[in-house]
Chains A and B, each alone.
Chain A
């Protein structure tokens, strides 16, 4: 009986179960002493170096660190066993040329969010460029498979709702590592959800109004985005990769919001 239940588990259920383990796991991040080994002060002690009145670049507000670190390694395993094998198969089957057409197509569909967020930030010139890009690439660029607009002096004006919130002074909030999606923070996660809702309620999926087509597009765009993202969890080999990525994520977003 229990066997048959185990066999019937579908992939989403396995992922949910893994996430439940992740959340339920004890979230302590402080290393514990081994009772069998006596403490000896190390050659260079923390209290001799770390100063209260100094601001450290690596100190990012991270109250959910226990969860985040576990989500970080969950993503490593998710990449390793599910996401990257799919991406590798995709790359193996399709020639680079076709992959680039898919990337252009996906980017063109998501211009919806760029228009919306440029408009919300009152960036009228960028809004105009994005609208013109969409028209040119959808027509001359054959449904967005090519991107002639960039060559004609209309480069892509990427803006998401996290950047819009940042533009109006909303701070980072706590750092978050989202399962599957990766490094984020409360502001950018809010943005991700808002962009997703706006896209599916008012954007291309609503125009097409075909659940199968929307599902197919979501899968293709997820694979395409991972295909274009060269980041690999734990690939630096650094024992403090988590801390470095956390610092760099906020810096990268600061740069993007400034534009």
Chain B
């Protein structure tokens, strides 16, 4: 009897040990719904502890001194970027922002802090789809082509580096980007193999698209989840404002700060993913609108804004904004992007361009180069079915794939920050 109890006790202890060991290694990012993860991100209480402030400096560089800038885009003629210097020699890491994002987006700020804290010099660059980059640094003014945009980024990196190299003695060069910035990082690394301006020793891709075209089709479709279609967008928007007002009024000491969305989510959990999908689609559409309007006015593409208009900085463009709000990224692809490339090479087809806008077009390089690492999520919303398996297969042991996090939602989670920094801290491959 006595022995039996001991056995039971021993078994229970073993089980507890297994369970607790299991949960110690499990991934505890709080949202298993990829839409919630993508929107709410990582609330402060779950996020990696990073310094509150780092000695970041903003600066500008003029890439095309002779470029004539339309008055509407008057404030975008110089490219803004930021630098953070260590005291003395250190590895230097370039960060490339995701679609539509600037060098100082919240995700970029978190990355800057993580890398600065780990002893790297950091240079942060806006996405080639950000209006400032289009106007100040894009050779064609028509963003979206991975190889061309990456070449523009590479030129910017060299110009910025030339300006700061005395103050940032670099022992070696690293490169990373998230989302679209990750796909561009892959192409930059490939270009660097020939040009050798930096000889990047490590390159990390965080939540990249595999095929740009597939990803924009997915994101465009999300906005169609606005109940009753886009004609009813105002009702949808006012509904969100009212919901936020309810949270602000009745929630427990809710403040307008970075965690407002999380507090709103806790107080009023949405009954379905539809409004969340619509919000992700909306965020992507706003990025597209900024990008397309900049390109349309800069290159006089006669896409939405008639090319004979002289648009001044104080002009009202609300009618054109309303048109742009209804046009998808695929519309841009067919209406500006493809014609731009066919004007240079009449033989190039739409399908060929779609193939070029994909990691698959450089897969031999990505498969064989040991300098790459990948951090991704099983449930990344910008990937079509099968694409995460493609990435897993392509990068093999160089891939770290988390079970959830949606699109970049878990980037600030401690395990993710550790994986991101650890990749660059580890001894060379």
Question: Which A residues fall within an 8 A CB radius of B?
Answer: 29-34, 37-46, 48-51, 54-59, 65-66, 69-70, 73, 76, 96, 155, 234-240, 243-244, 251-252, 254-256, 258-259
Contact = CB atoms under 8 A, between A and B. Distances in A.
What 10 pairs across the A-B complex have the smallest Cβ distances? A258-B245, A37-B308, A29-B316, A69-B314, A255-B245, A259-B249, A31-B315, A49-B323, A237-B132, A237-B131
Given A49-B326, A57-B233, A240 B317 contact: yes
A57 B238 contact: yes
Contacts, number: 136
B357 to A, nearest CB: 21
B293 A30 contact: no
Nearest to A155: B253
B244 interface: yes
A114 B290 CA distance: 39
Chain B interface, DSSP helix/strand/loop, else mixed = helix
Contact of B314 (A44, A46, A66, A243): A66
13 contacts: A31-B311, A32-B309, A33-B306, A34-B309, A40-B302, A43-B303, A46-B319, A49-B326, A50-B322, A73-B313, A155-B253, A237-B102, A238-B131
B161 interface: no
Given A54-B231, A57-B237, A251-B241, A240 B321 contact: yes
Interface string B228-261: 0001011001100110111011000100100000
Nearest to A248: B241
A256 B234 CA distance: 20
A44 B335 CA distance: 9
Contact of A42 (B234, B307, B331): B307
Contacts of A29: 314-316
Nearest to B323: A49
Interface stretch (B41-49, B69-77, B162-170, B366-374): B69-77
B105 to A, nearest CB: 10
Given A55-B234, A57-B238, A255-B245, A243 B321 contact: yes
Contacts of B317: 31, 239-240, 243
Contacts of A48: 323
A41 B308 CA distance: 10
Interface of B: 53, 72-73, 75-76, 102, 126, 130-132, 231, 233-234, 237-238, 241-242, 244-246, 248-249, 253, 256, 286, 289-290, 293-294, 297, 302-323, 326-327, 331, 335
A30 B315 CA distance: 6
Given A57-B238, A238-B290, A258 B307 contact: no
Contacts of A65: 316
A54 B311 CA distance: 26
A181 B350 CA distance: 50
Contacts of B307: 37, 40, 42
A42 B302 CA distance: 5
Contacts of A41: 306
Contacts of A259: 245, 248-249
A137 to B, nearest CB: 17
A44 B290 contact: no
B386 to A, nearest CB: 34
A109 to B, nearest CB: 21
Counting chain B CB atoms within 10 Å of each CB, the highest count among A34, A37, A238, A239 belongs to: A239
A38 B300 CA distance: 13
